[in-house]
Amino acid sequence: MRDALRRGKGRITQLTNRISIQAKLIVAYIVIILIPIILFSWYLFNGFYQNTLQDTLKKNQYMLESEKANIHNNIEIVGRTAQLSIADREVIDYLQNARELEVHELVDFNMNTFSNLQRLMFNNPIIANVRLFTDNPKTMEIWPVIFKESRVAGRTWYPRVVAKKGAVWWEILQNEKDVMKRDTLDGEAASTYVSLFREIYYPSDTHVGILEVDMLIDKFFQTTFSPIQDGESHMLVVDRTGRIFTDTANDFFQGMDLEQLHREWEARPHEEAFHFNFTVGDTPYLILSTPIEQLEAHLLNVVSLKKPVTQIQKARNLFITAAVVLIALLSIITYFLQSLILKKLHILRDSMKKVRRGDLNVHIDMDAGGEVGELAHHFRQMLKKMNELIVEAVNKQASKKEAELNSLKNQIDAHFLYNTLENLKMMAEVEAQYTISDALTSLGSMMRYSLKWSKDHVRLRDEIQHIQNYMAIMNIRYDGMLELKLDIPEDYMEQEVLKMSLQPLIENAVKHGMYIDRARREGITISIRACKKDDTMMIEITDDGAGMSSDKLGELHEKMVMEDGPFHLKYSRYVPKENEGNGIGLRNVSQRIKMYYGREYGITIDSAEGEFTQVMMKLPYLILSGGMSADEKIAYR
């Protein structure tokens, strides 16, 4: 046992002797000053923080419960209003009339029963609307209470209310326009309501209509939307679908990511009341949550802890300042000690000064041990590495200049070609050779489109223009026997497509479609059609040329779906016969589409020999011009 202790003590002494004086001084600072200060400050400030947190929790829990009590009161008011609205038998009879009422009957109903309904709404100023919707064709609308059920049959809440079979359904209607003006195009501002819905049955199994009672959301959640707040907390409501409702314009929420807050809240069990901490940047928050069962929603109180935490931080900084002053005094004393102990550092410092002046061939003759010797060794290695990097940088710079010269040369060559084509075009026009002039114009446009590759995505309009130039040139070769038909709505011309993704398909249609005698005699027609299906854009390219046999079509389908390894192994040395393609062009187009948009997109091919070939391209529906498409505008209205 003693021998083990002696050996352990010897190892510790040997290890201590290897540690530098600088390290020993740092350890002494930590042991003598920093560790006690850290432990004491942690205990003290943690106690302050916990007490502050508990006080804040109690205060804001009371505010949360008060708002919840106010919400339950509003729920009772809305429910009582709904009950009274259909308690009058004459209202039910009017909604169930089997015949159209005479004028005097309508006047009597309007003066008595309908007035009672209006009085019920006006006597409750916090009730925004009371609506009765009926599908009875004999019942006339009496604004602003009685309406046709067809006005709301398309709303998202309608099937849920019908499914409840007469039970109450609560919904928060966001940005809701008045039902009397919902189909108009005026600029009336929309409002957000907390609404009670209920299907009316009379007798118990006969559908009469739908009852709706609305209250403005700022009346329903008064404290949540009140402009008068203490500045340290604010409430918000999360409905059953995860939507957040609050006064987002309030300065309290500036800089706060409410979606991140919702994710933090959603990640915790929230069926019952609870609280948790949440941090945005450097600001901590306390979040209190309580459920509102009737609405299937939750009321959250977001409390900023910035003020109490700042006060605690100020006190902590005082302790840190005292510790820093003490350490500074000890550092001054240590400085004088180091000047006597660390003389070797002066030699290394002088060498560094020479390097700073540009002398990278400094020789450091120092064999001292410890940190100084290790530092000298690493400094020598650094100088060696610097010289290597300088040589490497010079070589890279030379390579870069050479690449820039090559790029400039290519640019000059491209401009030379453009200018040459322009000169040839002018000569053709002077000689009245307009066919040649038009061909040169199309060729120049194709060259610019092909060589100017600044981005991978273009509009469908640009790709179609490129195809038209290509067809103009090919018609010179085939003596005008090629016809291009376009069936593309103007809105779809802004669809995003990959650059040079349609032209290879048209080129295939021309090359293989003109192979049979009928096509050489009569020519072929190539049709391009675009249509939207759900969230995808379908671009169909059809030609009435040679087509292909079922065997060739099956082989082409196999090439389209093969992995790269087996494909190159099987077809890398394959030499196609005359007018027989290898399928690489179609495969490349399909793979580009899948790479950019996903595996569910690409192209499919159908064909019948001697009749037609059809290529169907499937893309995500993306309009590059911004805003909504015509279909979206119609759906929105």
Of 239, 249, 186, 185, the residue nearest 217 (C-alpha): 239
> Domain total for the chain?
2
User: How many other CB atoms are found less than 10 A from the CB of residue 603?
Assistant: 21
Q: What local confidence, expressed as pLDDT, does residue 218 receive? A: 92
In a domain, 313, yes or no: no
CA distance 204 to 278: 50
- Of residues 548 and 568, more confidence is placed in 548
The amino acid sitting at 503 is Q
| Beta strand spans in 144-296 (E) | 146-148, 169-176, 191-201, 207-216, 233-238, 244-245, 274-280, 283-292
Closest CA to 88 of 146, 41, 168, 46: 146
For position 389, what pLDDT does the model report?
80
Instruction: Name the strand (E) or helix (H) holding 486.
Output: strand 482-487
Of the candidate ranges 49-63, 276-290, 552-566, the one whose mean pLDDT is the lowest: 552-566
What per-residue confidence (pLDDT) applies to 289? 94
The single-letter code of the amino acid at 632 is E
Q: Is residue 131 scored above 90 in pLDDT?
A: yes
Strand-pairing partners, residue 191, are 176
> Do 461 and 624 meet the contact criterion of CB atoms below 8 Å apart?
no
The least confident of 83-92, 413-422, 493-502 is 413-422
* Residue 337: inside a domain: no
Residue 405 has pLDDT above 60, yes or no: no
Q: Which of 191, 220, 249 is the last residue of a domain?
A: 220
Q: Are 514 and 520 contacting, i.e. CB atoms less than 8 angstroms apart?
A: yes
**Separation of CA 146 from chain center:** 42
CA-based nearest residue to 262, from 284, 234, 296, 287 = 287
Give the pLDDT of residue 601: 92
Q: Which residue has the higher pLDDT, 334 or 114?
A: 114
Say if 523 falls within a structural domain.
yes
Residue 288: pLDDT band with limits 50, 70, 90: very high
What does DSSP say about strands 233-238 and 244-245: parallel, antiparallel, or unpaired? antiparallel
CATH of the domain at 528: 3.30.565.10
pTM: 0.48
Residue 121 falls inside a structural domain? yes
Which of the listed residues 188, 220, 252 is the one where a domain comes to its end?
A: 220
Is residue 421 scored above 80 in pLDDT? Answer: no
Final residue belonging to a domain, choices 171, 200, 220? 220
Asked if the model's pLDDT at residue 149 lies above 70, the reply is yes
pLDDT digits (tens, 9 = 90+) for 261-278: 889 899 888 888 999 988
The distance of Cα 394 from the centroid of its chain, to the nearest Å, equals: 44
CATH number reported for the structural domain that contains residue 171 in this entry: 3.30.450
Quick check: 106 and 140 in contact, CB under 8 A?
yes
Summarize the confidence of residues 451-467 as an average pLDDT: 82
User: Residue 18's pLDDT band (boundaries 50, 70, 90)?
Assistant: low
Residue 583 lies in a domain: yes
- Bigger pLDDT: 398 or 227? 227
Average the pLDDT over each of 58-62, 101-105, 161-165, 581-585 and give the range with the smallest value.
581-585
Q: What is the pLDDT of residues 2-14, one digit of tens each?
A: 777 777 777 776 6
* pLDDT score recorded for residue 627: 44
Residue 375 is assigned to a structural domain of this protein: no
pLDDT in tens, 34-91: 777 777 777 877 887 788 888 888 989 999 999 999 999 999 999 999 998 888 888 8
| CA–CA dist 464, 493 (Å, integer) | 9
The burial class, CB within 10 Å (0-12 / 13-18 / 19+), for 22 is: middle
Contact 93, 208 (CB under 8 A): no
Per-residue confidence band for 628, with pLDDT thresholds at 50, 70 and 90: very low
Task: Tell me the pLDDT tens digit for each residue of 563-611.
Answer: 776 777 777 665 555 555 667 778 888 888 888 888 899 999 999 988 8
Reported as a pLDDT band with limits 50, 70 and 90, residue 408 is: very low
The string of DSSP codes covering 505-568 is: HHHHHHHHHTTSHHHHHH-EEEEEEEEEETTEEEEEEEE-S----HHHHHHHHHHHHS-HHHHH
**DSSP one-letter string for 29-66:** HIIIIIHHHHHHHHHHHHHHHHHHHHHHHHHHHHHHHH
Give the span between the Cα atoms of 380 and 369, in whole angstroms: 15
Q: Is residue 563 part of a domain?
A: yes
More confident residue, 141 or 624: 141
Between the alpha carbon of residue 538 and those of residues 406, 451, 590, the distances in Å are 42, 27, 14
pLDDT at 80: 93
What is residue 484's predicted lDDT score, i.e. its pLDDT? 92
Predicted pLDDT at 22: 60
211 within some domain: yes
List the domain range (segments joined by +) for residue 201.
86-220
